[in-house]
A and B are shown apart, each in its own frame.
Chain A
C-alpha cells in the first residue's frame, strides 16, 4: 500500500477509536451533572452514590478521549499536509476555537469535578460538572461545524493554487448540513449513554445489589431513552433528506440506488456490485424510499450513475453501515417502548428478561455511532472536501514506511488500551454505586501508605472508608 491508503487507514482507525469516547463523555458528563444537581438540591444520598459511581466511569472514559484526541489534532498535519495547506484559513480558526472554548474549559474544571468534592461546596461542584459537560458540547459543536464544512462547503473560495479564503464566517460555520449533523450526533451521544446507564443498572438489579440506586438510574435512563429514541429517528430522517439535497451521491450509496428513479423502492438488503453498477440479490419494497426521502409517491431521487464510477464512494461499505445504524435505531426504539409498557404495568424493576435485554443493548449505541460516521465519512469519498478536493490530493509527503510503522503501533496500542479500559471500567461497573473505594488489602503498596489514607474527606463516610481504616 502507498502512503495515501495507509494514511486513510490510520486516520479511519484513530478517528473511529476516538469517537467512542466523546460519545460516552458527552452523555455521562451531563448525567453526572444532573446527579450533582439532584444531590445538591435534595440531599438524597442515592444521588450522591450514583454521582460518585458514574464519575469514576466518566473519569476513565474522559482520559481515553483526551489521549486519543490529541493524536487527531496532530495527524491532520502529519498525514494530511495537502489538506491542511488548502483549508488552514477555514478550519484552523475553528479548531483553535475548539481548544480555547472547550478543551480548556473541560481541563480547567475536571480536576475540581473529580478530585475537589471534599474541597468545594456542593454548588461549586455542580458548577464544575456543568462546565465540563458544557465544554463537551461546545467541543462537539466546533468539530461538527468543521466536519460539516468538509461535507457541504460554503462561505469560502479557493484561489488558483487551491488555497481557501474565507468570505463569510457565518456561512462557514452554519453550513447546510451543520444543524442536522450536530443534532444527530448530540442525540446519538445521549441515547448511547442512556442505554449504557440502563445496561449497567440492569446488571446490578439482576444481581440484586445496590438495588435502590440502580433502580433510580434504570428508571431515569429509560425515560430518557423513551424521548430520545423516536427523536433520533426523526432527526435522522431530516438529516437524510438534507443529504439528498446536498450530497445526492452519498444518499444514493446509502440507499443502494444506481439509476436516477421516480418513486424509488426501498432496498431492504442487497449486495451492491460496483463493477456491474447494480444490486445483486435485492429485496425491495416499492415506492417506500420515495415516501421517506421525498415524502411523495413518485418523487425523483438521483442515482449513483449520475456521476462517473471514479467519483462514487465505496458503495457496499456505505450501504451496509447505514443498515447497521438504522437497524440499531429501531432496536433501541423497541427497547425503550417495551420499557414504557412494563413501567405502566408496574413490572419495570422485576421483569428478568427485560434486564437481560437492557444488558444486551449496552454497546449498541456505540456500534450505531461508528456505523453512522462510516456512512458520512466513507460516503463523502473520493472527496475530502465534497465535490472539490480529492482525498488523494490531500495526503502529506511522508513515506509509506513511516506510516506503516505508526499504523502498526497505533493498532497495538489502541487494542491494548481498549483491553485495559474494559478491564478497569468493567471492575468499577461490577462493583457498583457504593463501596467502590479500593480495599487496602487489594492494593499492594497501599498498606504501607501513611495513616489516614482512607480517612479521606469528611463528606464521604461510605462503608469502604471504615473498612479500609480497620485494616490499616
Chain B
C-alpha cells in the first residue's frame, strides 16, 4: 500500500478527493446558505418556518463537508493548510463567526418567542457573511498569496482584492440561486412562488458576476489568461463557456416552466461548471503559483492510511447522507418537530 502511494498518479487521486469534498460542500451547503440568504426576503413568517424546516434535518451534514475539506487538506496537502489558513486569517475567522450564528439560530429560533426576529436576522446575516467570506477567500486564491521560505509572508489584509469582492458578491448570488431552486422543489404554495420570483434576480446576479470574475481574472492574472487563451487549450476549453451560457438560459426557462426540481439541478450544474473553470485556471497548484500538488503532498505512509479511509468510508457516508435526504423527501410538511437544533 505504501509503495503504491509513491506512484505518480497519487497526487492526482488526492487532489481529486479534495476537489470532490469542496464540490460537495459548495453544492450542499450552498443550498442551505442560499436559503439563509433569502430568509429575510421571504414575505411571511410562515414562509420562514417552511424554509427552515426544509433544511433543518440536513444542514449539519452539509456543513460537515467543510470540516472534511479542511482536515483532508491538512492530511493530504499540508502546505495548502498551513500556508493558506494564516493567509486568509480574517475572512476565515469571520466565516466561522457567521457560521456559529446561523448554526445556533436553527435551534434558538425554534425556541424563541419575543426575540424570534433577532434569530431570523442572525440566520440571514450569518448565511450572508459566511458566503461573502468564502468569496473573499476564493478571489484571494485566484489572486495568489505571498510566500517566503515555505510560510505565508503577508499582512492581515493581504487577502483583500477586487477579485475577492467580486467573487463574494457572485457567490451570494449563486447560493441564493441554489436556495431558490431548492425552495421551488421542496416548498409549495406562496413559498414556492417566492422561490420562483427571487430565482431570476439571483440568476442575473450570478451570471453577471461569473462573467465579471472570468474577465477580471483573465485580465489581472496573466497565468490565468495564458491557461485559457493559449492554443491548443483554447480549442478544447471553448465548450465550457458555451455550456455555461446554455445552462443559464435553461435555468431562466425552468424557473417558471420546468419541472419543480429542474431549477435546483441546473443551478448545481452551473456551479459545477464554475468550479471546473476555476480548476482550469488554478491547476496544478495547492498554493497558487507557489506549491504544486506534487510538492505539497504528505508522506506515502500517511497517504496510504488516509487513502483507505477515503476509499472505504466516503462512499458509505454518501450513501447514508442520501438516505437522510430520502427520509425527508417530498414537500416540506409544516409540523413541529420533537427536537430542534441548537
Contact = CB atoms under 8 A, between A and B. Distances in A.
Interface residues of B, number: 80
Chain A interface extent, by class? 35 or more
Interface centre among A68, A111, A448, by most B CB within 10 Å?
A111
Interface string B186-201: 0000000000000000
Contacts, number: 290
Interface stretch (A297-305, A337-345, A370-378, A401-409): A401-409
Interface in B284-342: 298-299, 301-302, 305-306, 309-310, 313-314, 317, 320-321, 323-324, 327-328, 334-342
A115 B156 contact: no
Interface in B76-102: 76, 78-79, 81-86, 88-90, 92-93, 96-97, 99-101
B57 interface: yes
Nearest to B156: A402
Contacts of A166: 299, 301-302, 305
Given A100-B310, A443-B116, A449-B45, A81 B338 contact: no
Interface string A203-214: 000000000000
Contact of A60 (B74, B107, B321, B335): B107
Contacts of B111: 60, 424, 427-428, 438
A107 interface: yes
A288 to B, nearest CB: 44
A99 B89 contact: no
B340 A56 contact: yes
Contact of B103 (A67, A105, A114, A402): A67
A115 B339 contact: yes
A108 B67 CA distance: 14
Interface stretch (A250-258, A307-315, A324-332, A391-399): A391-399
Contacts of B321: 104, 107-108
A99 B76 CA distance: 14
Contacts of B204: none
Contacts of A420: 104, 108
Interface secondary structure of A, over-half rule = helix
B75 A119 contact: no
Contacts of A421: 104, 342
A109 interface: yes
B29 to A, nearest CB: 11
B85 A78 contact: yes
A176 interface: no
Contacts of B317: 100, 104-105, 108
A456 B82 contact: no
Interface stretch (A86-94, A276-284, A353-361): A86-94
A377 to B, nearest CB: 20
B151 A81 contact: yes
A88 B328 CA distance: 38
B75 A92 contact: yes
B211 interface: no
Contact of B336 (A89, A428, A448, A453): A453
B45 A417 contact: no
B66 interface: yes
Nearest to B103: A67
A111 B328 contact: yes
B338 A460 contact: yes
B64 interface: yes
B335 A81 contact: no
A96 B86 contact: no
A460 B67 CA distance: 36
A160 interface: no
Interface string B98-134: 0111011011100111101000000000000000000
A66 interface: yes
A62 B116 CA distance: 21
A241 B108 CA distance: 44
Contacts of A61: 342
A188 B267 CA distance: 47
Contact of B104 (A63, A78, A79): A63
A363 interface: no
A78 B93 contact: yes
Contacts of B33: none
B72 interface: yes
Contacts of A90: 302
B86 A397 contact: yes
Contacts of A96: 68, 71-72, 74-76, 306, 309-310
A450 B191 CA distance: 12
A61 B108 CA distance: 11
A81 B82 contact: yes
Contacts of B61: 104, 107-108, 110-111
A74 B85 contact: yes
A466 interface: no
A63 B92 contact: no
Interface in A119-165: 119-120, 165
B96 A85 contact: no
B46 interface: yes
Given A108-B321, A409-B97, 17 more contacts: A62-B341, A63-B104, A78-B89, A85-B79, A89-B299, A93-B309, A105-B317, A108-B61, A108-B317, A165-B299, A169-B305, A396-B152, A397-B152, A428-B111, A438-B113, A445-B46, A449-B45
Shortest 7 CB-CB contacts between residues of A and residues of B = A114-B339, A111-B57, A60-B342, A92-B75, A88-B78, A77-B85, A63-B342
Interface of B: 44-46, 49, 56-58, 60-61, 63-64, 66-68, 70-72, 74-76, 78-79, 81-86, 88-90, 92-93, 96-97, 99-101, 103-104, 106-108, 111-114, 116, 150-153, 155-156, 298-299, 301-302, 305-306, 309-310, 313-314, 317, 320-321, 323-324, 327-328, 334-342
30 contacts: A52-B338, A58-B339, A60-B107, A67-B104, A73-B67, A73-B70, A74-B70, A92-B74, A93-B75, A93-B302, A95-B75, A96-B74, A96-B306, A96-B310, A104-B61, A104-B64, A112-B324, A114-B57, A114-B339, A115-B337, A166-B299, A169-B301, A396-B152, A398-B89, A420-B104, A420-B108, A438-B113, A448-B44, A450-B334, A452-B335
